[in-house]
Structure formats: structure tokens, C-alpha cells
């Protein structure tokens, strides 16, 4: 039973599903019974990999489960052509990018002649769209494929333009200027999906302090302007610098910056290069502190990044260990403390003796945090400044908390005309898909989604109360992302996509046009071949106007318009949105923002589910690391159903997980065992095939256990705890059936067929192809549309559950004892104690434990041998809650009777040839190894020989 087995039955059942239209979903009369499940549509710039698989399979498992619970489930799928990702790949192929071409050829097995056709971005997108659809179908995703579309669909583009007109009229889309991440080659703002590695540029502002020089100024970029009083030097990199002239707002300044920074700052300021200057020339100069008037040295610093800030660093060695190292290497021995902080030494910069970058960074960060939140500006700074400045420093800065004084230091520098502000990408360097490094640019007359608008932001934060998050702890990530959300530039000058309706030169970026697109799924199949207008969309999506008027002016059949409106009203809102957790920083907040703006609170998604990443070899998948694992390859190598289980259950849903082929193979082996066992059950024949009752202990235990397993599986599926539920239905149930065969002396075919029926339905959401194959052997219809099993299908025999739980607890204790003494038993002697008074004490102990009482309370309330009672309490305390509950009900049961009638089961499970059972209270019982007296009720004494 190799991968070919799994894939051959998958192909068989996928064809049947498609022929029968099993997953087509249409509105019913009961709207309360619908579930609308969505996943982000993929960019069609490369084939699907196993990372896609985790999100899509998890959503599909949930969709299949809900369908079996009786819900009318819509699970659609579409394809993202918009933006720069596709264009960038086509450009790279056209330019002969050998690494990309080789990866397409060797990793994805794309013919070279087909790769050459991909110089045309539309042919590239269409090729991968086709491949992705094939892969999604091979995965067995229960998609309604009638509703599929791509983002170049004319009706979809009209839908996006309709949305943007609504946003503009509502004041959510504004025109203005702002700083953005910007590609200097493509000449447009960029977001996460425009960059290599899908990294969202994070922009921070930095304070710039100008130190005076003889011919030009020395601008130092800093995040701690308050430490300028303690500045004793300026560090530069051993690279080329340039003197520039800034001419902005009628102000002229000449200053020096690194050559690398000059190019970046030119996108923020109007700069003109005057001349280049070497680091050797710079270190011969001196600069003057703008507040203290002290001359400071210019020194080379090996820790200066010439691409960050201005390329110049203000050295404050008293408060930064890295500054201390650079100052000493440059011949500066002075350190002037200007901040006093509890729990930090007077000169924190001397507090660590390491040059390890990570350790140094951690220590510096701890100093910065402590000084900012707990630090106070020292009074000695008053005497450091000129006489005319002292009163202001005394009144507003000295003696004040750093968190408060920082603003006044900035104000003081502004008064002296020695302050400015620049912007930097804090998580850089980041590269555009074209290869250029992203810079920060101030752009004018750009259209922005006003995600920073206080009213809209506040409404969005409050709306999170209406959404269920899975897992719940991710809500705080949404709160943080929305709270920090800035306005977003929506226009791009190049790329595939929808043009702004009022500005045909601007293309809406791929994240801005994918916010409420899930609404389009609801009527996309009906809209095909028709021409939607704003009036039609107003009616379909907002209920504005009348279908009759739309028919008169737009040539759309009134029945189709009404049908589209009915579809939208029935399916919307989204019931469960599934996504990778990386989209918390952009798409998912945008999704909430825009739904709120266009539709209001009633159309917000009911639930958002996040999953972690799939890593290969312990690392995030990357073309440069050559560890991309195509999903189609994984299916071919391991089989569909093993891949479905491996990708969706190898860790808790939010956790990252490593793709390990050995684990996938082990999953496949276990599925083979499950298939074989269920198949054998379905083939069972016997005289008691029509037996109605469960008479034996084994039958009663299995019937009761199935009730428990069904309840647990139901709960785990509903909470999307796939790791636990797959462990239950693929591993535990298999072991349960083995226990059943060892517990009973004969099998009950009727009961086992009931178990097989329930078991197949329990595994169906996870491994639907295998489930269909097994179901078809003995039952009618398709497994995928059968009801999920219920507890009521099996009778409950709680006493049988207690007896087997007791036996299994004893078996576990014996195995633990074998491990402790490093000896496998050949013969086992068991002493039981059925003393009635002690059994009453068992109940008392259970009551005490359940009430949260301790040993002292128990000993105070129960009379008897204190040592014996303490041992009893300790042992009962070790039992799990379920067993203690059963024990409280059946404490009067005879252990001797339970063990005697099930001794064969014990012998089989423990693999021993002889088990002797004695009553510890019988004076005739032998006392072997002195263990007789240590027996307590439901805690037998054990001797291993």
C-alpha cells in the first residue's frame, strides 16, 4: 500500500465528487444552517507549496466536519493576479534570471519551453492558475468550483472600483502626502506583497541633531536625543561620505552624510551633492555639541552602519556599551553620565564586558528601556550648557523623568535650529521584487486608505468583540496591529490590477483590492457573462434601488439580479476566515476595517482562524535556501491523505511545524493499519451477526468508549484542535480496537460494524478519500455527506467502563514497576484489599480531592490508621479525574471478582504466563516479599517474579 494506493483512490473519489456536484452549495430556506468558509486566494506566480497546504487543508477539514454536522457549507476558491508578484517573476524570466529559471525547472519540473512563454505575465499567471487548481483538486478540497474567478475578471474589477468609490465617498479614502516604503526603480509605494520574502516595511522616525562644524554640519540620527548632553564624539564608518546641500522650505543647510545614505535621503529631502569627502579627511575635523558647546572628536567606528540613519553616530559612552567600545578605540576616554536610573550603575555603558553582537544588543536594549521608563535627567546638565540656556534646562529638563524630558530637549534643539527628523525602515534592508532596496519616500497627492483615522480605528478595535478568534490569544495581535495601523498608499504605477476609477494612471495595490472580495464569491457564478454596474452592485450588496430599475437601465435580467441579491443575503457574512498568521500585520486588519466601512458590523466575519508556518529542515521555505517543497511533489511522494493529516495536525494550529518526511511516512503507515483493520471488520461474518445486545464486558466497554470517543472528537473538530482529534481517530481508536480483541473471548460482528461506521465518519474530514473507499464496501451513499456520528448511536455501560479503566490503570502501574526494577515480568502476584471501611475511606478521599482539600483535612475528618490513610490518599490523588469519578460510584465493586474474570486479558496485555491473585485480608494468603500488607482498595500490591 504505497503512495499510489492513496492517490489512486483519491483520483477515483475526486472524480465521483465532481460528477455528482457534491460540494456545490446553494441557498436553502434555513439561513441559520449555513456556513461560509474562506481562505486567502493565492498569488499565481509559482505553484502551491506545502505552506499553502496547511491553511487550505485545515479550512477544508473544518468545512467537511461542518457539512457532516448538517450545515449547508460553501467553501469557494479564487486566484490573485493583481499586483507586482506576477509581473516581477515575468520580468526576471525575461532578464534571464538563472536562479529563478533553474528553480522552476528543477524544483517544479516546468518544461523550459513553457518557462520561456512566462515572459508574458498573463501567460505565467494562467499557467500557475491551472496548476494550482489541479493541485487543490488533488488535495481533495471540498470546493464549489462554479464560483471560482481570478482578479482580472471584468465583473470583479468593477466590484473593486465600486468598493473604492464607496470608500472615497465615505471619507475612508483620502488624498494627501505621507512617507511610505518606496521602490526607487519601479517608482511606486510598496507593501508586503511587493517585496521579496513578503516583508512589510516598518517605518520609524528618527531624531536628527546637527553638530556644528567649520564648513558644514554633522547630522547624527538618534532615538535618544536627551543623551546629547553626554555626547563626547561622533563615529563614522570607514566608507565614502558626501557633503550635501539641503534646499527645502527656503532653508539652506550644508551637512555631511554617508554616500549610501545620501541616495536614500534624497527621497525624503531636496538634497544636492556638493562634494565627496573621505573618512580620513573627516577624522581630522572637529564638531561642536549644539547644547554644551564642547568640541568633540570625529572617530572611525566599526559598529557604524553607513546605510542607516545619516551614517553618523553620536557617541554617548556613559549610556551605551557599543559607544564605549568605539570611543575607546578612537582615543576618547571620557564618559559623562546624564541620566540616573535605579538598578543601573552610574555609568551603565561600562556594565558589560563582551563584543558579542547579540549580547551587546540585548544589554543596550535593557539600558534604553530602563532609562526611558525609570530614568531621571541629572542636575549636572545645568552647568554643562551656556548661561543663557541654563534656566530653561533647569525648569524643563533637569530632574525630570526621561519620558517627559525628551520632548523639551527636542524643543530646545529646534530653538537652536539644530533639530530635524528623518525616516528609516526599521526592519530593513528590504528589497522590492525587482531587486531594488526599498527606501522611505515622502509622496504628494497620493490616495491613502485612512487606517490611521481615529474614529475608524476605534470602531475597528471595538468590532473585535464581535469576532471569535482561533486560537483566542491571537486577538491581542490584532489589537496591536490595528492600534499601530498607519494610512496606506493604494496606488501603484505598474503591475496587474484594477485602475482607480477616477485616476486611470494608478493601479490599486494587491492588498488593498483583496479586503471584501469574499463577498464576490456569493454571486460570482451568476454574474458570469453579464455586465455588472454600480447600480446593480448597490442592490446586490447593499439592497439599494430596485431590480426592475436596474433591468431597465443595465440590460441585466431582473431574475438574475434578485438571485444574486438572495445569494449574498443568504451566505454573508463569512463564518470562518482561515489564514496564515503572517497576514495579521496587513490583510486581516484591512479585511475587518473595510467590511466595517462598506457593510457595517452585521457583515463582519464571525470567526478568524490563524495557523502557523510550515518549515523545511527547521527553516522557513525560501528559494535561496532551495528548500521549497511543492505540494504536488509531496502528494506524489507520500499520498494525498497522509499529506492532509501531516500538514494539518503535526502541531497546535497556531504553532510553526517542521515538515519531516519521516513523520509523513509514519502517518502513512498508521493509515494503512487503520484501513486494514476497518476492512477486516467490514468482512466479519458469524452466527451472531444480528446480535442486538452487548453482553460481554468487552462489548459493553467498547460501546461506552465509542460514546466517549465520539463526544471528544466532536469537541476537538469544532475547536479545530486537529492534532488532538487526529491522534484520537487515527491512533487511539486503533489501539482501542486492539484492546477490545484482547479483552473479550469472542467478537461481536454487529457491534464492530457499528463501530466501523462511526469510525469511518470520524476520520472522513481528515482523510476523505480513504473514508469513501471504506464506506463504499458496506454502506450506501457517500461518506462525505453522511452525518457525523453521535453518542446516541451507542449504549452506555458505565460499570464496564469502570472495570476496564481499573484494569488498564493496573496494567500501567505494573509496566512502570517493570521499568523501575529493569525487569520484565515472567510471573505476577497481585494482592487486593476489599476492606469495607477502607473503601468508605476511598470515597472520602475522592470527595476531599474534588473539593480541593489537602491531606491534613482528610486525616482530620477520617478516622483510622493514619499511615495507611495517608498512603490511600496519595494513591487516589494520582488517578485522573475520570477514574476518580467512576471509583466514587463503584467503590463497593469486588476487585477480586474483576481481576479473576479478566485474568486472561491481563496476561495477554502484560505478556506473562501466570498471574496469581490473593486477598490481602485472608490469613491463608502467602506474604511474598512482604508486599501483602501494602495492598489498599483499588491500589493492589504487586510482586514481579
* Residue 462 placed within a domain: no
Specify the CATH number for the domain of residue 412: 3.90.740.10
CB 50 within 8 A of CB 631: yes
Both 832 and 855 in a single domain? yes
CB 515 within 8 A of CB 603: no
* 0.85 surpassed by pTM: no
CB 736 within 8 A of CB 703: no
Which of 624, 659, 694 finishes a domain?
Answer: 659
> Taking the CB of residue 38, how many other CB atoms lie within 10 A of it?
23
pLDDT at site 943 = 95
* Residue 741 placed within a domain: yes
pLDDT at site 1 = 53
Q: Which of 38-42, 98-102, 895-899 has the lowest mean pLDDT?
A: 98-102
Which of 425, 451, 475 finishes a domain?
Answer: 425
- Please report, for residues 529, 549, 594, 922, the alpha-carbon distance to residue 515 in angstroms, rounded to integers and kept in the order given: 24, 29, 6, 77
* Residue 594 placed within a domain: no
pLDDT tens per residue across span 843-888:
999 999 999 999 999 998 898 888 999 999 998 998 888 899 999 9
pLDDT tens per residue across span 345-398:
999 988 677 777 788 888 899 999 999 999 999 999 999 999 999 999 999 999
Q: Which of 136-145, 249-258, 631-640, 875-884 has the lowest mean pLDDT?
A: 249-258
- Please report, for residues 540, 594, 697, 703, the alpha-carbon distance to residue 736 in angstroms, rounded to integers and kept in the order given: 53, 50, 14, 11
Specify the CATH number for the domain of residue 767: 1.10.730.10
Specify the CATH number for the domain of residue 111: 3.40.50.620
CB 494 within 8 A of CB 433: no
458 or 252, greater pLDDT: 458
Range of the domain at 624: 36-144+612-659
- Please report, for residues 202, 283, 450, 459, the alpha-carbon distance to residue 454 in angstroms, rounded to integers and kept in the order given: 20, 48, 9, 9
Which of 425, 451, 470 finishes a domain?
Answer: 425
pLDDT tens per residue across span 516-553:
999 999 999 999 999 999 999 999 999 999 888 888 77
* Residue 887 placed within a domain: yes
* Residue 569 placed within a domain: no
The number of residues making up the chain comes to 945
Confidence check: pLDDT of 690 > 50: no
Both 392 and 275 in a single domain? yes
pLDDT at site 92 = 87
Both 653 and 722 in a single domain? no
Both 712 and 825 in a single domain? no
Known binding residue 623? Answer is yes
Structurally, the chain folds into a number of domains equal to 4
Confidence check: pLDDT of 687 > 50: no
Task: Show the CA angle centred on residue 759, arms to residues 695 and 751, nearest 5°.
Answer: 20
Both 246 and 395 in a single domain? yes
Q: At what angle do helices 3-20 and 661-682 cross, to 10 degrees?
A: 70
Confidence of residue 625 (pLDDT cuts 50, 70, 90): low
Both 748 and 868 in a single domain? no
Both 393 and 294 in a single domain? yes
* Residue 806 placed within a domain: no
- The answer for residues whose C-beta is within 8 angstroms of residue 184's C-beta and 6 or more apart is 267, 436, 437, 439, 441
Q: Which of 203-217, 311-325, 589-603, 864-878 has the lowest mean pLDDT?
A: 864-878
d(CA 323, CA 494): 44
Q: State the residue for C-alpha cell 452466527.
A: 687
* Residue 880 placed within a domain: yes
Both 232 and 96 in a single domain? no
Both 254 and 381 in a single domain? yes
Q: State the residue for C-alpha cell 561642536.
A: 288
Both 652 and 666 in a single domain? no
* Residue 261 placed within a domain: yes
Both 665 and 764 in a single domain? yes
Confidence of residue 250 (pLDDT cuts 50, 70, 90): low
Both 333 and 398 in a single domain? yes
> Taking the CB of residue 283, how many other CB atoms lie within 10 A of it?
16
Amino acid at each position: 500500500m504505497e503512495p499510489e494506493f492513496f492517490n489512486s483512490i483519491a483520483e477515483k473519489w475526486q472524480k465521483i465528487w465532481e460528477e455528482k456536484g457534491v460540494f456545490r452549495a446553494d441557498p436553502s430556506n434555513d439561513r441559520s444552517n449555513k456556513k461560509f468558509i474562506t481562505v486567502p486566494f493565492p498569488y499565481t506566480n509559482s505553484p502551491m507549496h506545502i505552506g499553502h497546504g496547511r491553511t487550505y487543508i485545515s479550512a477544508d477539514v473544518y468545512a467537511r466536519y461542518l457539512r457532516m454536522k448538517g450545515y449547508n457549507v460553501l467553501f469557494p476558491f479564487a486566484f490573485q493576479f493583481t499586483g507586482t508578484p506576477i509581473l516581477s517573476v515575468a520580468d526576471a524570466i525575461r532578464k534571464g534570471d538563472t536562479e529563478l529559471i533553474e528553480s522552476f525547472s528543477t524544483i517544479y519540473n516546468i518544461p523550459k519551453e513553457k518557462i520561456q512563454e512566462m515572459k508574458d505575465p498573463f501567460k505565467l499567471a494562467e499557467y500557475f492558475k491551472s496548476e494550482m487548481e489541479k493541485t487543490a483538486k488533488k488535495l481533495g478540497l471540498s470546493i464549489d468550483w462554479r464560483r471560482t474567478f481570478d482578479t482580472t475578471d471584468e465583473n470583479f474589477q468593477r466590484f473593486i472600483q465600486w468598493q473604492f468609490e464607496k470608500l472615497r465617498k465615505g471619507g475612508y479614502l483620502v488624498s494627501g502626502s505621507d512617507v511610505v516604503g518606496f521602490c526607487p526603480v519601479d517608482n511606486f509605494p510598496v507593501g508586503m506583497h511587493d517585496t521579496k520574502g513578503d516583508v512589510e516595511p516598518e517605518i520609524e522616525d528618527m531624531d536628527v541633531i546637527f553638530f556644528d562644524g567649520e564648513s558644514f554640519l554633522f547630522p547624527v540620527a538618534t532615538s535618544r536625543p536627551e543623551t546629547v548632553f553626554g555626547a563626547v564624539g561622533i563615529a563614522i564608518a570607514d566608507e565614502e561620505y558626501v557633503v550635501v546641500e539641503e534646499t527645502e522650505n527656503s532653508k539652506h543647510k550644508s551637512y555631511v552624510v554617508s554616500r549610501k545614505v545620501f541616495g536614500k535621503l534624497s527621497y525624503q529631502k531636496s538634497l544636492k551633492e556638493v562634494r565627496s569627502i573621505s573618512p580620513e579627511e573627516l577624522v581630522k575635523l572637529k564638531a561642536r555639541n549644539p547644547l554644551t558647546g564642547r568640541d568633540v572628536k570625529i572617530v572611525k567606528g566599526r559598529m557604524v552602519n553607513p546605510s542607516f540613519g545619516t551614517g553618523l553616530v553620536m557617541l554617548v559612552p556613559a549610556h551605551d556599551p557599543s559607544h564605549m567600545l568605539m570611543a575607546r578605540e578612537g582615543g576618547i576616554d571620557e564618559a559623562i553620565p546624564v541620566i540616573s536610573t535605579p538598578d543601573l550603575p552610574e555609568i551603565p555603558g561600562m556594565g558589560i564586558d563582551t563584543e558579542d553582537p547579540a549580547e551587546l544588543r540585548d544589554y543596550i536594549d535593557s539600558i534604553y528601556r530602563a532609562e526611558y521608563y525609570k530614568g531621571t535627567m541629572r542636575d549636572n546638565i545645568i552647568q554643562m550648557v551656556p548661561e543663557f540656556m541654563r534656566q530653561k534646562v533647569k525648569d524643563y529638563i533637569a530632574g525630570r523623568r526621561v519620558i517627559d524630558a525628551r520632548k523639551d530637549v527636542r524643543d530646545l534643539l529646534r530653538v537652536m535650529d539644530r533639530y530635524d527628523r528623518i525616516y528609516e525602515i526599521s526592519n530593513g534592508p528590504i528589497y522590492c521584487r525587482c531587486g531594488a532596496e526599498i527606501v522611505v519616500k515622502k509622496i504628494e497627492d497620493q490616495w491613502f486608505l485612512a487606517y490611521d483615522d481615529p474614529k475608524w480605528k476605534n470602531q475597528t478595535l471595538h468590532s473585535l468583540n464581535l469576532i471569535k478568534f482561533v486560537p483566542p490569544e491571537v486577538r491581542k495581535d490584532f489589537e496591536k496591529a490595528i492600534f499601530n495601523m498607519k494610512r496606506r498608499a493604494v496606488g501603484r504605477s505598474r503591475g496587474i490590477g484594477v485602475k482607480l476609477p477616477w485616476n486611470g494612471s494608478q493601479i490599486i495595490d494587491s492588498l488593498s483590492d483583496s479586503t471584501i472580495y469574499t463577498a464576490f464569491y456569493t454571486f460570482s457564478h451568476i454574474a458570469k457573462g453579464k455586465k455588472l454596474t454600480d447600480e446593480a452592485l448597490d442592490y446586490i450588496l447593499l439592497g439599494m434601488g430596485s431590480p426592475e430599475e436596474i433591468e431597465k437601465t443595465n440590460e441585466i435580467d431582473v431574475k438574475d439580479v434578485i438571485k444574486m441579491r438572495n445569494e449574498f443575503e443568504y451566505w454573508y457574512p463569512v463564518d470562518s476566515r482561515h489564514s496564515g498568521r503572517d497576514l495579521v500585520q496587513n490583510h486581516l486588519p484591512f479585511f475587518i476595517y473595510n467590511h466595517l466601512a462598506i457593510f457595517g458590523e452585521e457583515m463582519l466575519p464571525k470567526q478568524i482562524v490563524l495557523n502557523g508556518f510550515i518549515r523545511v529542515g527547521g527553516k522557513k521555505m525560501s528559494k535561496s535556501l532551495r528548500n521549497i517543497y511543492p505540494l504536488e511533489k509531496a502528494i506524489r511522494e507520500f499520498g494525498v491523505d497522509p499529506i492532509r493529516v501531516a500538514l494539518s495536525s503535526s502541531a497546535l494550529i497556531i504553532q510553526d511545524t517542521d515538515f519531516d518526511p519521516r513523520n509523513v511516512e509514519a502517518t502513512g503507515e498508521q493509515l494503512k493499519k487503520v484501513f486494514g483493520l476497518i476492512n477486516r471488520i467490514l468482512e466479519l461474518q458469524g452466527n451472531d451477526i444480528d446480535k442486538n445486545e452487548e453482553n460481554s464486558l468487552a462489548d459493553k466497554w467498547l460501546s461506552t468508549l465509542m460514546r466517549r470517543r465520539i463526544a471528544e472528537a466532536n469537541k476537538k473538530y469544532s475547536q479545530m484542535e486537529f492534532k488532538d482529534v487526529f491522534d484520537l481517530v487515527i491512533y487511539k481508536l486503533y489501539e482501542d480496537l486492539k484492546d477490545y480483541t484482547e479483552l473479550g473471548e469472542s467478537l461481536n460482528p454487529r457491534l464492530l460494524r457499528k463501530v466501523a461506521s462511526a469510525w469511518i465518519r470520524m476520520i472522513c474530514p481528515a482523510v476523505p478519500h480513504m473514508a469513501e473507499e471504506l464506506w463504499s464496501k458496506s454502506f450506501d451513499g457517500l461518506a462525505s455527506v453522511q452525518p457525523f456520528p453521535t453518542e446516541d448511536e451507542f449504549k452506555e455501560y458505565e460499570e464496564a467502563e469502570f472495570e476496564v479503566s481499573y484494569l488498564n490503570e493496573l496494567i500501567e502501574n505494573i509496566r512502570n514497576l517493570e521499568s523501575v526494577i529493569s525487569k520484565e515480568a515472567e510471573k505476577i502476584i497481585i494482592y487486593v484489599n476489599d476492606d469495607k471501611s477502607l473503601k468508605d475511606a476511598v470515597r472520602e478521599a475522592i470527595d476531599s480531592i474534588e473539593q480541593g482539600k489537602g491531606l491534613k483535612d482528610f486525616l482530620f475528618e477520617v478516622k483510622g490508621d493514619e499511615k495507611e490513610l495517608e498512603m490511600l490518599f496519595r494513591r487516589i490523588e494520582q488517578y485522573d479525574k475520570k477514574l476518580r469519578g467512576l471509583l466514587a460510584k463503584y467503590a463497593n465493586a469486588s476487585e477480586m471478582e474483576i481481576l479473576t474474570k479478566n485474568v486472561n486479558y491481563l496476561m495477554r496485555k502484560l505478556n506473562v504466563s501466570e498471574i496469581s491473585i490473593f486477598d490481602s485480608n485472608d490469613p491463608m494468603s502467602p506474604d511474598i516479599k512482604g508486599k501483602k500488607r501494602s495492598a489498599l482498595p483499588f491500589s493492589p500490591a504487586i510482586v514481579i517474579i
